[in-house]
Amino acid sequence: MPCQIVSKLMRRVALLSVLCLPFAACARPVLYYPTPESVPSTSAKAGNAPPKTPAPRTSTTSTAVPSTKTPLLMIGGSSGTSDMEYLRGRQIIVPVAGASMGKVEDTFDEAREGGRVHRAIDILAPRGTPILSADDGRIIRMTTSGLGGIAMYTEDSEGRIVYYYAHMERFRDDMHPGRALAKGDTIGFVGTTGNAPKDTPHLHFQVMRMPADGRYWAGDPINPYPVLVGSDR
């Protein structure tokens, strides 16, 4: 199913299917949540730093099972006011060159096939449009397989937020894990790799809180839509 167009009715499906195992949907780590014991990122910053380089799982297609202890619907509505405020404070930018948030739908809470919830936004753009780093920070990981296709995980300069950019056509040539990024840097180009519909190039953009355990691919998703809309005006 195309990831960008889902009937509003599907939202109801999401409510009923939160326990289903994730499958497909537009790009990867959309349904993984940290365990309730996870320390909020604020305290993660202090003192004993969490492991920054978790043992790599097999690929982006982590098989982590969503925690049923974490009410899914609460996450969608309020993925943490402090997270949202922090993100707002970062003054992140729309990560696709020339894109206007006026044309982007808030699909963060929309259902995806297999009982998944999107937990990301899709920014449609012509194939090859530059993808921009939404924030200052560094590259954590670059992947080329899995549902996200050619995709990149980055973190903000304080290591509190993880950004996930998926379905790229390709990376910019000089990208590599560990590389520092400045807000607005071109990191890649819009495409349809992974499970994106081949006729709908777009950037699947996900924002997550960096978990205290450093499992950057499994952080609690934060909806960037309201933040980006605010920055777009």
Cα 46 to Cα 218: distance, rounded to the nearest angstrom:
21
3 forms part of the interface with Zn ion (CB under 5 A) = yes
**DSSP string of 87-105?**
HHHHT---SBTT--GGG--
Q: Considering the complex, what minimum distance in angstroms separates the CB of residue 125 from Zn ion?
A: 13
Residue with tokens 């000089």: 174
Q: Considering the complex, what minimum distance in angstroms separates the CB of residue 3 from Zn ion?
A: 4
196 forms part of the interface with Zn ion (CB under 5 A) = no
Interacting span for Zn ion (CB under 5 A) from 67-75, 132-140, 198-206, 209-217: 198-206
Q: Considering the complex, what minimum distance in angstroms separates the CB of residue 206 from Zn ion?
A: 8
Among residues 83, 110, 113, 122, which is the contact residue for Zn ion, using CB under 5 A? 122
Which residue lies nearer to Zn ion by CB, 13 or 120? 120
Which residue lies nearer to Zn ion by CB, 120 or 210? 120
136 forms part of the interface with Zn ion (CB under 5 A) = no
Among residues 119, 141, 204, 215, which is the contact residue for Zn ion, using CB under 5 A? 204
Q: Which of residues 7-26 bind Zn ion (CB under 5 A)?
A: 26
The tally of CA atoms less than 13 A away on the side-chain side of residue 172 is 16
Which residue lies nearer to Zn ion by CB, 105 or 213? 105
Q: Which of residues 60-89 bind Zn ion (CB under 5 A)?
A: none
Interacting span for Zn ion (CB under 5 A) from 79-87, 117-125, 171-179, 218-226: 117-125
Cα 173 to Cα 205: distance, rounded to the nearest angstrom:
20
Size of the site for Zn ion (CB under 5 A): 5
Residue 213 contacts residue 51 (beta carbons within 8 Å): yes
Provide the phi-psi class of 201: left if phi over 0, else alpha when psi is between -120 and 50, else beta. Answer: beta
Residue nearest to Zn ion (CB): 26
Residue 110 contacts residue 6 (beta carbons within 8 Å): yes
Residues paired with 207 in a beta bridge: 163, 222
Q: Considering the complex, what minimum distance in angstroms separates the CB of residue 197 from Zn ion?
A: 10
The tally of CA atoms less than 13 A away on the side-chain side of residue 197 is 10
Cα 107 to Cα 121: distance, rounded to the nearest angstrom:
6
Residue with tokens 């560094």: 138
Q: Considering the complex, what minimum distance in angstroms separates the CB of residue 26 from Zn ion?
A: 3
Which residues contribute to the site for Zn ion (CB under 5 A)?
A: 3, 26, 120, 122, 204
